[in-house]
Structures are given as structure tokens and as C-alpha cells.
Amino acid sequence: MNTNEYRCVLVRRHSHQVLAFVGDGHYRLPRVHISRQMRPARELQKALKTSWELNVFVLETWQPTNGVGACAVAELLTSQMAAPFEEIRIEQLLHSEFSEQECRDAGLLLEGRTNMPFSHVGWIDEAIAWIESVTGCTFRSRSIEQWNAGGGFALFRVRSDEGRHYWFKATGKPNEHEFTVTKFLWELSPDFLPKPIAFRKEWNAWLAEDAGKPSAAGLSAAELAIAARQLAQLQILTIDQVDQILTAGGFDQRLPTLRSHIDAVIAYLIEAMIRQTSPKAAPLSRDRLLELGEILRNVCFRMEALNIPDTLIHNDLNAGNILFTGSRCAFTDWSEAAIGNPFLSCERLCQLDTNHEDDARITYRNLWSDRLGSTDIDQAFVLAVPLAIYAYLYGRGDWLEMPTTRVEFDSYARSLARHIDHAAQSRQLLDLLCQ
């Protein structure tokens, strides 16, 4: 199935009682089904509103593990309650809905005795009070649209009573560095990110003005060109800031680093192909993967020979992370910020809409033409195609140290390996490597 069923623990702010159905002498929690590809917090909010007209703020979500189903804990934001529910104590769900361990975990959360800063009942009141103090606006309507919640993370969009929108974001492990990276980039050049309002270190959080919306129907040629221009401008500004970005928490994806891990990545892919059980696509052979490793190594050497300066790169550049307002855009979600060859980010941008990739490359070329020769730029565009896919797979590199494999990551890695294989068959690339 492509959905997870969530048991929903809906708690009253002051009584800490939860809503449940009663039938046949047993209490049952309300349930909703959420697509695995969607953000759980956002979809839970929408589903509970649609099904029972309940306005909630999601505090925590637990994904299904070891046969235990998914669960979500949410705080009711309004006093209204749909007729089918009764208010009960969490202990009354023992055995009918929860194991003893689950009941203890849920009880600790409702009592505020967890180490997750955003999971206790009433936290949203603290957040709203802080937002009011730094914006001078009021938020009595509690118009909150959540995008992420649980596990030490929080992301929501809130509308003031005056109709202004703001974004609140807080990150926990393993993305705590996003706070320092984002703060550094704002201080370096605020024109390329959503405008910051305030930071709160103890929450690892920040508040920003609304900076527009991602393109709903995919990027147009004009939008792709705007993004390419501003991406290049931001990257050029960071040429002399490499060490500072690494210190702030950016990851090292410089070419020597990527090259030094090729053998480990290829070794993993060989094992992942052996573990493949799906017949949908033939696994790549060991010999072909070793050949791809040599191609990637040669690509790295050729790219290094171009002497392109390292810059900031956005290694999670998707349409949702580019916000447009008129003739400008802002880049958001810097958890995968890294230092590396700038043309890798350009290639990621081009893949968002291959129908308009030439527009993006022309714009990007114009911004770099004062620093690089035309032939070097042409070669960088060709070399970046397989290298950008490999860099995306390598990511932070920490997964290479995982003691056990994960089925979903195996599938993801095999898919990217096939994309690298396809890119490596490019006649342009093969001709360039033979020169």
C-alpha cells in the first residue's frame, strides 16, 4: 500500500484528556490514511479538518516499526468538538489501542516529559507569543499550516490577524547545522533567501517573511532563467567564503572528496544490485559498475583540471525549495548545503525542467563568463551531468558508515546508479573523456 494508517491521539490543552470513539465497551482512536509520499503533519491537519472539522497542531508522529502502526499526537486548537467523540484518559486506551510501552510513551509526551522541545502540549502558545513579540502582529485566529512536526523538527506557516504570512522553522538532529548555515547565508547576502525576522538559538529556530510560493505547474523558461541567474550570483559571492561555510556546517563535496569515495560507493552499489529482488529493471552488473567508477574518476580529474573555484552548492535543489515573487526568487531549505563545484547545482537546476534547460545554461554561462573561458564552461556543463547525480547519491557520505542496509535506501541507490549509467553513455561525455 502507498499509505500509512495513523492512530490519532487528539489532546485537550488543559485537561490532557484525549478524544475517542466508544463502542462494544472499548475505546477507539480516530484514524486517517496518509500517503507515504506526503508530509505527515500537513496531511494530518487537513484530514482531521475534513473528516471531523477539528483544528489541530501536530506535536509528534511515530512511523510504523516492527509491526506497530503509525501514530500521531496532536493538540486541539479550538474548544469545539464533533459529536462522535468522548473525552477519556490516555490510560483507558491500554490494550484496545496501545501496548504498555506505547501508552507510557504517549503519557510522557502529554505530561511534557520528553526531550523533544516542540512536542509538549501548549508549546504552540509559546511559539506564537515569541512570533508576536518579534513581529508586532497578533495571531488570535491561530491560522497555522503545518509542513513538518516531530522528532525535534518544526515547520509551519502562520497568518497574522492583519493577513501577513510568516514561516517558522526549527531543526533537530541530524540537521541542527541548518540553523547556522542559514544564518550565515542571510548575513552574507540576504537578497537570495527569505527575509529573516528573528532567530531563537535555544530552539534552533528562525522566523522569516513569506517569500512567495514554489511554481505549482513546474518552472517556466523565465522562472528557470531567473533561478539560474540568482543561483550563479549567490555562488560567486561565496567563492571567498568556503572555509566559513564549512565551519557553519556545510558539507564537503569538493572534487577530491567526491573522488576519494568513489570506490566505497561503487562497492555499496555492487552489493545493492545483488540484493535486488524486483524484476522491473535489470540490475547493473559488477563489471559495469566498476566501469562507471572509472568513468566518474576520470570525470572528477577532468573537472578539476578546469580550475573552477569551489562555491556554495545546494544539494537538494527541487522546485519546492525555489520561491518566486515576480522577477525574483529565493532559495530555501539549506540542510544539504555543501561546498563544491558550482556547475553541479546548475545541472540539478536544469533537471527540474529539461524542456528549458538551455535557457538556464545560457543565463548561467553569462554570469560565469567573466571568470571562465567559453570552452571550459562548455566542458563543465558536460562533465556535471553524471557528476551531479553521483554527488546527490554521495550526499553527506555518512550513509557509507551504516552498519546495516536499508531496503528503501538500496532501491534509491540503485535508481541513481541507473541514472549515472545513462548519463555515462552520452556521446559528448565519452568524446570529451577521450581527448
- Looking at residue 406, its pLDDT comes to 77
| In-domain check, residue 105 | yes
- Looking at residue 392, its pLDDT comes to 96
User: Mean pLDDT, the chain, as a whole number?
Assistant: 91
* pLDDT at residue 1 tops 60: no
> Is the same domain home to 95 and 136?
no
| In-domain check, residue 115 | no
Mark which of 82, 110, 138 sits at the end of a domain.
110
| In-domain check, residue 74 | yes
> Is the same domain home to 229 and 251?
yes
* Beta-strand relationship, 18-23 and 311-314: unpaired
| In-domain check, residue 116 | no
Q: Which of 149, 103, 89 is closest to 124 using CA atoms? A: 149
Render pLDDT for 327-385 as a digit per residue (tens, 0 to 9).
889 999 999 999 999 999 999 999 998 889 999 999 999 999 999 999 999 999 999 99
By residue range, what is the domain housing residue 58?
A: 3-110
| CATH number of the domain residue 396 falls in | 3.90.1200.10
* pLDDT at residue 157 tops 90: yes
pLDDT band at residue 79 using 50, 70 and 90 as cut-offs: confident
- Looking at residue 216, its pLDDT comes to 63
- Looking at residue 371, its pLDDT comes to 95
- Looking at residue 113, its pLDDT comes to 81
pTM for the model: 0.88
pLDDT band at residue 403 using 50, 70 and 90 as cut-offs: low
- Looking at residue 66, its pLDDT comes to 62
> Is the same domain home to 152 and 87?
no
| In-domain check, residue 287 | yes
| In-domain check, residue 216 | no
Average pLDDT for 151-174? 93
Render pLDDT for 294-332 as a digit per residue (tens, 0 to 9).
999 999 999 999 999 999 999 999 888 999 988 889 999
- Quote the CA–CA distance of 117 and 170 in Å, as a whole number: 10
| In-domain check, residue 183 | yes
Alpha-helical regions (H) of 111-220: 123-135, 177-188
Lowest pLDDT segment from 168-182, 196-210, 314-328, 341-355:
314-328
Q: Which of 346, 331, 57 is closest to 189 using CA atoms? A: 331
Q: Please, is 225 exposed, middle or buried when counting C-beta atoms within 10 Å of its C-beta (0-12, 13-18, 19+)?
A: buried
| CATH number of the domain residue 34 falls in | 3.90.79.10
Percent of the residues in the chain that have a pLDDT greater than 90, as a whole number:
65
pLDDT band at residue 404 using 50, 70 and 90 as cut-offs: low
Render pLDDT for 275-299 as a digit per residue (tens, 0 to 9).
998 888 999 999 999 999 999 999 9
Mark which of 110, 136, 156 sits at the end of a domain.
110
CB–CB of 372/308 below 8 Å? yes
- Looking at residue 111, its pLDDT comes to 82
Residue that the C-alpha cell 567563492 belongs to: 239
Per the structure, how many domains does the chain have?
3
